[in-house]
Structures are given as structure tokens and as C-alpha cells.
A and B are shown apart, each in its own frame.
Chain A
Amino acid sequence: MSTSTSSSVTFSGATRIYPGSDRPAVDALDLHIEAGEFLVLVGPSGCGKSTSLRMLAGLEEVDAGQILIGDRDVTHLRPKDRDIAMVFQNYALYPHMTVAENMGFALKIAGVDKATVRKQVEEAAAILDLADYLDRKPKALSGGQRQRVAMGRAIVRQPSVFCMDEPLSNLDAKLRVSTRTQIASLQRRLGTTTVYVTHDQVEAMTMGDRVAVLKDGLLQQVDTPLGLYEKPANAFVAGFIGSPAMNLGTFSVVDGHARIGDGLVPLPRSTVEAVGAAGQVQVGFRPEALLPASEGDPGSFAVQALVVEELGSDAFLYGDLVGDDLRADHVVVRLPPRGVPQKGETVWFTVEPGGLHAFDVETGAALPTH
């Protein structure tokens, strides 16, 4: 397959307010995506991911701000003049055309001669394992095959940007995992700038070069998957990224310590200073950041085990904090698979060094922890 010229993408204050709504669906989005980068837009349902993507594709008006592809301002260009291909959540294959016609349609419209179209379609079909299905209509294909035709329709065109809106959400769990890998490796191979939308943070973490987290139309943070995981910019990102989710709770600050259940967990000085007179702090620690301890160890707190899930490679303990300051949901702890505590047992843990995250109680913004 000949190389496509991929371009960078820039959202600059891009805003979309749907008619009849006073709250923007996407609010002043600023985001720069490098040429060839795989960027994942992730967030809970209704946060404006699809709207952002559709603004880039030209399917949705931009009420304020600009969108650039490379150096070109495409804010008010028609979709067909943007050199973008899109993979829809429901695939949107043309039901009256064969697989080959579906994949070659854009080239045919562009006036490419028949032989070249056929050649490119066959190349793409070979990559996607669709060679045997070229003469079928979409209705004679399985869900996974339809998904691949939708991918094929996008790559045949060699556009400068791919837009994908939850392309895996209609596949069953197992196929989703294998297709995830295929799409990611295909993208690396083609080197085409890709904006990929998903509500699934596992997909986001495994596929993206960088991940942008959206909530209520507002961009929360953009970083590499590991960057988001280790340095979440706020409590929302901290709770959204990672599975099982980070343990988050609001606790009072006593004497430079957070009072977690019965225990007093020491806070770094910078955190205590940032908390100041508020007297409360939102503390987060990941399930794997807890170390088993004994009663009375400094900085330890007690958890009463409610459920213990043994997965073979890991075990997860779900429990309640012991003590009066119960302002966290269940606490989740990842444990080594051998010698797990019994249900009902009380276990002590400390937070491993550097494993503690602190967030402002009001704004949720991350507070310094060193």
C-alpha cells in the first residue's frame, strides 16, 4: 500500500452548542494531535466525544473556535473537502453495494480508474482478511467482518486523518480484544493520524499514543496512558482511568495526617500546605498501591474484607474501612494470589511510598504530593 501523507490535527477553542441547548456539548476544546499519532478521546457517555470527532469530520457545525488539519483551516469546509475517513459505530456500510463496491466507493467518486480502484481494494482486503468476501453484500457478513469492511473503506482512501467512533462497541468481548490489537498495529503500519473515540478506558489505555479525557464537554487531561495513570490531573481522571478504579475518599486532615478509618496516614508536607485551612482532603490510592501491614504499624489503616475475588494471577479484596470516618466507598486492594484473607477478616494496610494521590475537596484538582 502506498504511503499516505498524514497530517496533524488541531482543535483550537472548538465549541459546539446544539440548537435548543444552552450548555455546550463540547466546550472550547484545545487539542493538538501530531501527524501520525494515535489519539484516543475517552470519557463517560454523553461527554462530547462523538461531537468532537464529528466536528473534525465536518458532520457537525463548529459554533466557535477553529479546527486545523495540517496548516489548513477546515472549520467551515465540507466533509468531502477535508480528506478524512470515518469508521462509524454502526459501520454505516452501503447495504446495496458489495464489499468491494463499499470499499472502493470513495475512489470511484474521486474518478480513479477502475483497475486502480480494484487493485487498492484488493490490497486492503488482503490486509483485513476480506479477500474471500469482496463480492458479498454486507448483510451476508458477520459483525466482525462488517467491522473490517468499515475499516477497509477507510484505509482504501489513504486519507490524511482517520476518525473512529467506538468502532468496536458492537463486537463481542473476545473479538473486541483481538480487533483492538489489529487496529492499533494497522495504524502504526499505515502511520495515519487517527482520532479514536471510546468510552472504554481499557481500550484507551491499550491503543492510544496519547489519551484525552473528556467530561461534560470539557477536556480534563491529555497525556500518555502511563502519564494519566501515574499523574492524573484531577480526581475525575484518577477515578476514570484504571481498572479496578482508584480508591477515592474524602478524609479530615489531622496534624499532617489523613484520618482514614481508624488509621492516620501521613501526608507529604506540600499536600498539607495545599490543603491549608480546609481541613479535608480527597485521597486516592490504587488497588495495587497498598502493602499488607500489621495492626499498629505507623500509617496503617484497617479494612474489613467483604468479598475476596481470586483470579489466579491476582486476587482482589473488596472491603470497608474500619472506623468512624467512613466517607469512602468500598476499598479495593490487589493482593498476591497466595494466602488471601478470609471474608470478614480485618486486615491492615499501608500505602506504598509514592502511591498516594491527593485532590482538592472543592475542585478535585490534584494537589502536590512531594
Chain B
Amino acid sequence: MADPTLAQDAGAHTRAATPRPRRTRSPLASVALHGTLGLAVLVALFPIVWVVLSSLKPGYAIQSSEITLFVEPSFDNYVHVLTETSFPRWFLNSAVVAAFTMVIGITMSASAGYAMSRFNFPGRRGLMWVFLVTQMFPVAILIVPIYTIMANLGLIDTKLSLIIAYCTVAVPFCAWMMRGYFDTIPKELDEAAALDGLGPFATFYRVVLPLARPGLAVTAFYTFLTAWGEVAYAIAFIQTDENLTLGAGLQQFVPRFNPQWDSLTAGAVLITVPAALVFFFAQKHLVAGLTAGGTKG
């Protein structure tokens, strides 16, 4: 546990050793620092800003070689995408698939992570290795066998096939992450709960999970993102337009020789909104020090 008095002492020491207080920085250093940061922000933001700006332009202006910020700005592209294409249908499908992937993913990785962190069962090490090893295979290799499995199960062209496939991607990683998080929660808390009368499930649910909120938030975000924008499995498993998800559906805006940039940019902007919302709710739970004060030593 960090000792605040020690930290203060150390701080005082640094200040005593350096005559110049930490806050003042030479003007040159200040310019260089802020310049670098500004450039980094620009590089990161430019593509997003450009897509947003483009989505407000008519199609011909997007492809024009002339660089302009605004050309006849309007929401026409959005109206078109939302009313005259299957975009709303894909959006809904994606939302359903991502939501189920998230819920199932959190449930499975939290319980698997807890088991790996706390219980000694036969095959525990083996299971942990399998979780790691599955992460090594790229989608390109997995897609055919998984397709075959889905076909045998009669799941091709269903949302369920995507949910299962996305869980196989997200759960092993998230289970490892959750295990690491549970490892930081002292075992004595589980034991205290057991003595207080809780069974293993209630201990997990009432004592351990509330303390693992930051881990759960990251898992939620990760599982959501895994499903939300995924393309490869979506194209492989889904065959009818009515079942398409966003990643696959948007491909229809890109006919071979004539990408419809107007629809594409508007769709891209709309797609980022839910992801941003999920991130917004997840980051609220990313707080440090939830277990502080429970134990000493």
C-alpha cells in the first residue's frame, strides 16, 4: 500500500534538489511539447473529422480532387441511408448480435476467469493453455472449420452463428483478463464470505463481482467491439440481406467499380455512435482502488 507521507517526503525532496519548481517550463520546451501533442491529436482525429465532413457533402463533391471542408452541407446522405437502404435492418441485427455477444461473453469470461483464479480443478492448467493457444490462430484459418461446424448445426444464416463465433474470439482473451483481475482481489474476502454464510455462487456474485467492476467494463467493451464491426464471419455465415449485420451490409455500398461514398460515410458515422456510447458507459467504471481498505498487509 502506498504510504502518503512517504510520497510527500519524496516530493519535497525533489523540489529541494531542483531549484526550479516543477510547474515552470521554459517557453521553448512548452512550445515543443504542445506542438508535438497537437500534431498527435491532429493525426488521430483527421480521418474521423474527414469522414464526418464528407458525410455532409453530396456524392460528387466527396470524390472531387479539389479539397474542401464544406460543400452544400446537408443530412441528405443520412436520410438516404436510413430510409432508402437496408441499413436500419443491418443496424438492428448488429445491435442484437453485439448485445448477446456482450452478455454471454461477460457471463462466460467472468465465471471462467473466477474459476481459474480461485479453484484448483483437474485440467485447470490445460484449460488456461487452450485459452491462450486459441488466440494464436487467425480468423482466416478458423473460418472454414467454424463454417463447417455451423453448417452441421444448421446455423448458417442465423444471428446465433455469429454470436457463437464472436464468443469464441472474445471469451478466451476476456477470461484471461478477468482471471488477472480476480487475482488482485484478496482470497480472504471469499473466505470471509464463506464464513458469513454465502455459497460459492453468492460469494462470486455479491462479493467478488462488485469489486471486479473495472474488469467487467473492459470485458463489456471488448466483447461489444468484437461483434459490432466484424466483417469476415459476417460475410461467410450470412447469406440473406435480411440477416446481414453492419460489417457485411456496408459492403453493398461498395459495388465493384463504383463505391457510393455518400452512403458509406454517412453509414460509417452512424456506426461509431453505439460504440462510443458503450465506451462512454464502460469508462465510467474504470476506477482504480475498489479493493482499497478491505485488507491490510
Contact = CB atoms under 8 A, between A and B. Distances in A.
A88 B188 CA distance: 7
A92 B186 contact: yes
B295 A80 contact: no
Contacts of A139: 289, 292-294
Q: Please classify how large the interface on chain B is, using the bins under 10, 10 to 19, 20 to 34, 35 or more.
A: 20 to 34
B294 A138 contact: yes
Given A91-B295, A138-B294, A79 B211 contact: no
A1 interface: no
A84 B192 CA distance: 11
Interface stretch (B29-37, B63-71, B131-139, B193-201): B193-201
Contacts of A361: none
Contacts of A109: 196-198, 202
A86 B192 contact: yes
A91 B294 CA distance: 7
B73 interface: no
A95 B211 contact: yes
Interface string A109-144: 110000000000000000000000000011111010
Contacts of B188: 88, 90, 92
Interface string B174-210: 0000000000001011011111111100100001001
A307 to B, nearest CB: 33
B297 interface: yes
Nearest to A59: B191
Contacts of A19: 120
B25 interface: no
A189 interface: no
Interface string B92-132: 00000000000000000000000000001000000000000
Contacts of B293: 93, 95, 137-141, 146
B195 A91 contact: no
A23 interface: no
Interface string A91-116: 11111100000000110011000000
A96 B205 CA distance: 13
A92 B194 CA distance: 12
A93 B191 contact: no
A96 B210 contact: yes
B296 interface: yes
A181 interface: no
Given A95-B290, A95-B292, A89 B297 contact: yes
A233 B197 CA distance: 40
Contacts of A80: 194-199
B295 A93 contact: yes
A78 interface: yes
A147 to B, nearest CB: 8
A137 B296 CA distance: 14
Given A59-B191, A79-B191, A92 B294 contact: yes
A88 B192 contact: yes
A110 to B, nearest CB: 6
A57 interface: yes
A69 interface: no
A94 B296 contact: no
A292 B210 CA distance: 67
B85 interface: no
A241 to B, nearest CB: 26
B297 A96 contact: no
Contacts of B290: 95-96
B183 to A, nearest CB: 16
A197 interface: no
B291 interface: yes
Contacts of B192: 86, 88, 92-94, 153
26 contacts: A19-B120, A57-B195, A58-B195, A59-B191, A78-B194, A79-B191, A80-B194, A84-B195, A88-B188, A88-B191, A88-B295, A90-B186, A90-B188, A90-B295, A90-B296, A90-B297, A93-B294, A94-B193, A95-B293, A96-B290, A109-B196, A109-B198, A138-B294, A139-B294, A153-B192, A170-B297
Interface of B: 120, 186, 188-189, 191-199, 202, 207, 210-211, 289-297
Return the 8 tightest CB-CB contacts between A and B, nearest first.
A139-B293, A95-B294, A92-B188, A138-B293, A90-B295, A106-B196, A109-B197, A92-B192
